[in-house]
Chains A and B, each alone.
Chain A
Amino acid sequence: MVKKRLVVVMMVVFLLVVGGVALKNSSQGGKITSKGEVVGVINIDGPITGSSTTDIMGTGGVSALDIMEKIKTARQRPDIKAVVIRINSPGGTAAASQEIAEELDKLRKEGKPVVTSMGDMCASGGYWLACSTDYIMANGGTLTGSIGVIMQIANLEELYRKLGIEMETIKSGKHKDIGSSSRALTEEERKLLQDLIDDSYNQFLEQVKKGRKGKISEEELLKIADGRIFSGRQALELGLVDGLGNYYDAIRQAEKMAGIKEGTAQVEILNQPDFWSRLGLSRVKIDNILFQDKWIEMR
C-alpha cells in the first residue's frame, strides 16, 4: 500500500512540476529555451499600413503596430544582440513607415545593430524603413528606390452620370469633400493636395538624407529621387544600399556588427508569417504595386 501511494504521489508531483514548467514556458513565448546570443529577424512582407489589424484572411498588409511591437521586444530582450529586418514590400502609407522607422532608431540607440535584407522588392515606404538601419543588403535583382509620394483620386463623375447617380453633398466647410469621386478637383484643392504631397516627399527625402549620410550626396539624391526604381546593383552603385547579398549574408553582417563570432548566433524569427500567408493568400504580388485604396501612399 505504501509503495502504491509513493508511486502515485511521485507521479502526481512529477506531472504538476512538468505542467508548471510548461505553463511558464508557453506564457513566456518559449524564451526558456533561448541560450546564448540571438540575431532577431523581423519580416516585413507586404504593403505597410497603419491599421492595427489585418482582415480575417490576413490580406490587409503589414500592420505597423505588430512590427513596432516586435522591434520593442528586440530592444527589451537582452539575449538579442542584433536585428535583421527582412523587407519584401512595395511600400505603404507614410505615417506607418515613419512610425516603424522611429522604433528602429530607438533600437539602434540601444546599441543593437540593425541590418536590412531586401527581398524581391523594397521600394518606397520599404526603403524609408531601410534608411533607419545601419546596413542595407540587397540582392542584385531586388527592386528598390521609388523615393516619392503619390495620391490618386478617381474622378467618376461621368460614370455616375451614365448610371443616373447624383451625389448630394452637405458639408461644413468648402474643403470637407476634397477628393470626392463625384467631381473633378478645383485648382485650389489641387494646390492644397500638392502641398501635402510635397511635404510628405520632403520628409521622405530628409529620412533618406539622414540614413544615407556620407554614402550619397544631396545633389545626387535629388537627381534620382523622382519616384524611379532601381535594381539592387544599380542602387549599390548609387549608394542607396551598402552591399549585395542574400538573407544569410545579412545575418552574417548582423553577427559581425554585433561582435558575435560568425555562424554562432541563434537566429530567431520574431514574427512568423500567419496561417493565411502560408496558404499563399497574402503574398506580395506585382499587382499589389497598384495599392490604390489608401489616402497617401509611398510607392
Chain B
Amino acid sequence: MSFTEIVYGVLFQPVNTFRYLKEARPLGLSLLIWAAVIILSVVIGQGEAYVNNEIKSLGLPLQVAGMLNWVVGLFSFIMLFVMAGIYSLLADIIYGRNNAKGLLVCLALASLPGVLGSALSYVLALAGIKWLGMLFSLAAGMWVIVLQILALREALELTTSGALLIYFIPFIVLFIFALLLIVLIGIAGYSSFNAVGG
C-alpha cells in the first residue's frame, strides 16, 4: 500500500487497512505521519487558543502557553509507545496475543482524524461558529477512539468485546488509583485535623 492508500484506508476503510498494517508494519512511515499529525495539532491548537482566548483566560504568559503546547505534543509522542506497550502486554496476559510493533503502527495512524477535527474546529472558530467547531472536534475525538479500538482488534486479532475490554482497562485502573488517592488524602487530612483539634 502507498502513502495515499494508507491515509485514505485508515479514514474510510479502517478494518482492511489495519489488517494490512499489522502484517506489513511500516513503522517509519507511520511514525512520520504521527509526528506530522502531532506538529499540526499543536500549531493549529495554538492558533485556536488565540481565537478562543483560551490562553488569555488561563492567564498563562504566551511563551509559557506555547511551550506547554509543545510539551503536550512531546508527551503524546511518548504516550503512543506507552499505550502500545501496555495494550500489547494486557492482550498477552489476558488473551495470549502479542503484536506490539503492529499495534504501534495501527495506533499511530488511528490518530489521523484528530488533526482533521482540530483544523475544522479552527476554521469554524475563525468564521465565528465556535459551537459547530466544538461539535466537529468531539466527533473527531469519537472517531479516533473508534479507530483505536479497531486498531486493537485487528492488530491483536481480538473480538470487539475483547478489544473494548483491553482499551478501557488502563482508564479503569487510573480511575481506581485516583479514587484511592482522594480517599487517602481525605483520611490523612481528617487525621491531622483531629490531631490539631486535640
Contact = CB atoms under 8 A, between A and B. Distances in A.
State whether these chains interact: yes
Interface of A: 4-5, 7-9, 11, 14-15, 18-19, 21-23, 25-26, 29-30, 32-33, 269, 272-275, 277-278
A214 B26 CA distance: 80
B46 A22 contact: yes
Contacts of A22: 43-48, 122
B134 interface: no
Given A8-B8, A33-B51, A18 B122 contact: yes
Contact of B8 (A4, A26, A33, A272): A4
B66 to A, nearest CB: 7
Contacts of B56: 269, 272
A5 B4 contact: yes
Interface centre among B4, B47, B49, B58 (most CB of A within 10 A): B47
Given A8-B3, A272-B56, 15 more contacts: A8-B8, A11-B116, A14-B119, A18-B119, A19-B40, A19-B43, A21-B122, A22-B44, A22-B46, A22-B47, A25-B50, A25-B51, A26-B66, A30-B50, A275-B64
Contacts, number: 70
A22 B49 CA distance: 10
Contacts of B115: 15
Given A5-B4, A8-B4, A15 B46 contact: no
Given A4-B8, A7-B8, A21 B59 contact: no
A33 B116 contact: no
Nearest to B120: A18
21 contacts: A4-B8, A8-B8, A9-B4, A11-B7, A19-B119, A22-B47, A22-B122, A23-B47, A25-B47, A26-B43, A26-B46, A29-B50, A29-B62, A30-B50, A32-B126, A274-B60, A274-B61, A275-B58, A275-B59, A275-B60, A278-B59
Contacts of A5: 4
Nearest to A9: B4
B interface, over-half SS: helix
A243 B49 CA distance: 38
A7 B3 CA distance: 12
B129 to A, nearest CB: 14
B145 interface: no
B68 to A, nearest CB: 10
B5 interface: yes
A8 B119 contact: no
Interface in B128-185: none
Contacts of A274: 59-61
A5 B8 CA distance: 8
Given A7-B8, A8-B7, A273-B59, A15 B47 contact: no
Contacts of B48: 22
B123 interface: yes
A29 B61 CA distance: 11
A4 B119 contact: no
